[in-house]
Amino acid sequence: MNRAPAALWALLAVGGAGVVSTYVLDGAQRFWANWLLWFVFMVCIALGALFIVALQHVTGATWSVPLRRAPERVAALTPWLVPVALIALFSLPVLFSWTQPGAASDPAIAMKTSWLNVPFFITRLVICVALWVVSYRILVLGSVRQDATRDPQATVRLRRFAPIFMIILALTLTAFAFDWVSSLEAGWYSDIFGVYLFAGAVTSGLAVTSLMVIYLYRRGRLPGITEDHLYNLGGLLFGFTIFWGYIAFSQYLLQWYADLPIEVFWFRERTTGTMESVFILLGVGRFFVPFLALITRRDKKNWKRLRWVSIWVIFMEAVDVFWLVSPIQGKGLHLGWPEAAFAVFFLSAGLLVVIRAMGMGEDTPVGDPFLPDGRNFHLR
Amino acid sequence: MSDSVFGVLGLFGSADELLAAIPKIKAKGFAKLEAYTPYPVHGIDEALDLPKSKLGVLVFLIGSLACISAFTFEWWTSTRGYPLRTGGKPFNGWQGWVLVMVEATILLSTFTAGIGMLFAFNKLPFFGNPMLESKAITSITRDRFALVLVPVGGTLDVEGAAGALRAAGAESIEVVRVPEETKPGLAWWARTGVAIAAACAVAGVGTAWVIRAFPTIKPMVNMQVQPKLNAQSADAFFANGRGMQLPPIGTVARGYMPVVDTTPDAAGTNLFNPLPVTAQVLTRGREMFNLHCAVCHDRLGTGKPWLDSTYHAMPVDLQSAPMRAAPDGFLYWVISQGIRTMPGYAADISQDDRWAVVRYIRALQRSQDATKGDLK
């Protein structure tokens, strides 16, 4: 464990050097496009994990209590969204065409200026990130504190707050998706886009949860966790994979079929030319691979299977965000050393945050009164 | 009464007791066990060493087959059998086929799961199971869990099996015997046939009677019944009792002057354009031309159709010399009556608008053959 952080710090330094060089050598547009990509990716992972935590409280699940600390620790990425988001604000004049002077003369944008204006945009970002950090502090730190106090009332408070968080998440994630991804091409709109980003966030949140659970499970740090718990995680991942496929294809089919110039140009940029290969990879990789890999009951219980599917799903989340953000840089596949440097930088930084969060509280929420129920969970 | 034993049955109070008993009984050498429970018990397949159900594989295969069939069907009809351009989409627009593929997959998978489970795996058309004759069956369908030790190779130690079950915690023991086998005889088939025929007769006669006794009930007639005369309906107001009256002979509706000439050439000599050349007339003419004519004759009248080449349309070039020489009445007649494959537009374009179109065609012809003098 000690050698890993040292290697990660080295990778972070190398990645950081690459990130800075991107700005110097490749210009502002590529730098900010990549920064935005990893900002969106990080939001999806952190909020996906936070959603998994809240989902367990909302549904009153007991089976998941012993493994709930895993998504809670991944959600520790949430406070780190603050610096990433604040830096991302500098991308506004570079990436967002609606901030350009004279953009309002475009009728498609003029219609939206009451929403797309810089002061309101910044206000929304501040509100969203602040709500996420506050929710993280209530949901996760409240649970960690319970390890010491063993106060059963803490569980009651968490379960009361979780539904409120669901509403917060629905509104803020939709606003975030519209602001930071859709509005890159401000003429485009898709009502379902917030749900699209949400579906991706939940699958990747489940994937990181499964990875963390499998890591601890194999080292015997999660007593009481059986194949039945893995079966539930695999089942949720399987289900939300279908949900993602349904949402993604619905959005695509409707715009393809209507063929309206104001909508369809967005898909044209992303499904023709060199982006076509990314589009096919996304459809096959994000839906068919996890779908077929987790289809039987035995596969969902198999930790080896679940581990590689989880890693693949997280990779596909990155491909998904790349597919969404990268085409704003113009035609062609924008993939090279700057993208690699950003990936190294953000992944090593994220892993360092999660490794540090591994010291947060016990491996299982020992203060939760439902812990014995969760440990005794069997599929019968 | 046959002496052959179907098995020795032991009843247990809960699913956990049942699962706990299985290894104990197996340890005593009874290899073949069957379990009967009021609901599916997780883990029982593993405990009994049941072979994995093949239903999942079957559902997957049939589902995949349905998906591929739907794709092939859509592909063939859209690109080979009946290619039809819809909404400007390519013939092989797979995006539109996906819904059919998904629905076919789900439908056939569900059918396979349901019908396959009932007929292929649970042998549905099957007249009875010895278990149905046992005393325990009523409690098994309610709240008891049964384990049945069945013979291996035709032999079973009934006393030993009962002892093993009792030792494993069974509440009660019952020896289930195979009932006398009764093959349906001629009488059974006759009875069944008469019953089916009677059921058909009752249903048919009953339906016929219901239709007569209760004529079609209309729940909401406000739209259907209105205080107005429908076409071809009777009415007592006129002496001839008809709702619709014929117009007086020789009546012509305003703007619908019929074309009496039988050939375009006759019309060319007899008819003259009543409209003046004004901006208003030409604007109206352009509007009508672009709406009705341009799709085949092109906006400039060059006769290059916008339609797909599959339609094999060869419209006349309105810029050609014969068309330039043709009199207004000729063009008016063709627009009204149609010619060769071109349909008549008398029903779609009003009389004045047809004359306006003629004026506009003249303007188009002049625009493509302008002289210096026109630039004033």
Give the residue carrying structure tokens 């009809």. B77
**Residue pair A133/A203 in contact by the 8 Å Cβ criterion:** no
Report which residue type is found at B67.
C
CA distances from B338 to A226, A259, B329, B346 (A): 81, 35, 13, 9
Question: Highest-confidence range of A75-89, B15-29, B116-130, by mean pLDDT?
Answer: A75-89
3-state secondary structure of A131: helix
Residue B93 scores a pLDDT above 80: yes
What is the average per-residue pLDDT within A193-219?
95
Torsion sign (Cα): A117, A118, A119, A122: positive
Position B2 confidence tier, pLDDT thresholds 50, 70, 90? very low
**What's the N-to-C CA distance of chain B in angstroms?**
118
Residues of B near A (CB-CB distance < 8 A)? 15, 41-43, 56, 60, 87-89, 93, 95-96, 98-99
Q: Measure the CA–CA gap between A112 and A121, rounded to whole angstroms.
A: 12
A254-270 confidence digits (pLDDT tens): 999 988 888 899 999 99
For residue A16, the model assigns a pLDDT of 94
Which amino acid makes up residue B62?
I
User: What pLDDT does residue A265 have?
Assistant: 92
- The verdict on a CB contact (< 8 Å) between B98 and A259 is no
B15/A380 CB distance under 8 A:
yes
- When CB atoms are compared, the residue of A253, A295, A378 closest to B95 is A253
User: How does residue A350 score in pLDDT terms, banded at 50, 70 and 90?
Assistant: very high
Between B43, B88, B89, which is nearest A380 by CB? B43
| ipTM rounded to 2 decimals | 0.81
The residue behind tokens 């049945």 is B148
Whether the pLDDT of residue A78 is over 60: the answer is yes
Place of tokens 């209309």: B218
Handedness of CA B115, B120, B125, B130 (dihedral sign): negative
Strand partners for B11: B146, B172
The string of DSSP codes covering A223-268 is TT--HHHHHHHHHHHHHHHHHHHHHHHHHHHHHHHH--HHHHHHHH
- Contact list in B for residue A300 (CB cut-off 8 A) is none
Query: Residue B96 and residue A296: Cβ atoms within 8 Å?
Result: no
Which residue type does A204 have? S
Q: What is the CA radius of gyration of chain A?
A: 21
The mean pLDDT value of chain A amounts to 93
More confident residue, B347 or B107: B107
Chain B residue closest in CA terms to A258: B87
List all residues 6 or more positions away from B243 whose beta carbon is below 8 Å from its beta carbon: B229, B230, B231, B232, B233, B234, B235
Q: Of the candidates A249, A259, A379, which has its C-beta nearest B98's C-beta?
A: A249
* Distance set, CA A258 to CA A185, A264, B87, B306, B327 (Å): 19, 8, 8, 21, 45
Is residue B183 very low, low, confident or very high in pLDDT (cuts 50, 70, 90)?
confident
Cβ count within 10 A of residue B136: 20
Alpha carbon B274 to its chain's center: 54
Q: What per-residue confidence (pLDDT) applies to A51?
A: 97
Highest mean pLDDT among A61-70, A326-335, B46-55: A61-70
Which pLDDT value is given to residue B1?
38
Q: Contacts of residue A379 in chain B, CB cutoff 8 Å?
A: 42-43
* Chain B residues closer than 8 Å to A259 by CB: 87-89
B17: closest CA of chain A, how far (Å): 13
Range A261-267, long-range pairs (CB < 8 A, 24+ positions)? A262/A108, A262/A187, A262/A188, A262/A189, A263/A188, A263/A189, A263/A190, A265/A185, A265/A187, A265/A188, A266/A185, A266/A188, A266/A190
Instruction: Mean pLDDT check: name the lowest of A4-18, A188-202, B361-375.
Output: B361-375
Q: Which of B41, B87, B98 sits opposite A259 (nearest CB)?
A: B87
Pick from B42, B56, B88: which is nearest to A380 by CB?
Answer: B42
Name the residue among B142, B147, B138, B139 with its Cα closest to residue B167.
B147
On the question of pLDDT at A207 being above 90, the answer is yes
Greater model confidence, A109 or A140: A140
Say how many C-beta atoms besides its own lie within 10 A of residue B206's C-beta.
Answer: 10
- Residues on chain B touching A253 (C-beta within 8 angstroms): 95-96, 98-99
Q: Which pTM value belongs to this model?
A: 0.72
Task: Write down the pLDDT at residue B376.
Answer: 63
pLDDT of A217 over the 70 cut: yes
Q: What percent of chain A has pLDDT over 70?
A: 99
**Mean local confidence (pLDDT), B327-346:** 87
**CA nearest A379 in B: which residue?**
B42
Asked if A379 and B99 come within 8 Å (Cβ–Cβ), the reply is no
Q: Which residue of B has its CA nearest to A298?
A: B52
CB atoms inside a 10 Å sphere around CB B232: 8
The whole-angstrom separation of Cα B57 and Cα B262 is 73
- Asked if the Cβ–Cβ distance from B96 to A380 is below 8 Å, we say no
Average pLDDT over residues B52-77: 92
B182: confidence class by pLDDT, cuts 50, 70, 90: low
Residue A380 — very low, low, confident or very high, per pLDDT cuts 50/70/90?
low
Task: List pLDDT tens digits, range B218-259.
Answer: 778 888 788 888 888 888 888 888 888 888 888 888 877 778
> To probe the interface with A, which of B37, B95, B100 has the most A CB atoms within 10 Å?
B95
Contact A132, A79 (CB under 8 A): no
Q: How far A249 CA sits from the closest chain B CA (Å)?
A: 9
Q: How far is A380 from chain B (nearest CA, A)?
A: 5
Q: Could you tell me how far CA A62 lies from the centroid of its own chain?
A: 25
Which residues in chain A touch residue B99, judged by CB atoms under 8 angstroms apart? 253
Highest mean pLDDT among A351-355, B115-119, B237-241: A351-355
Averaged over B194-201, what is the pLDDT? 97
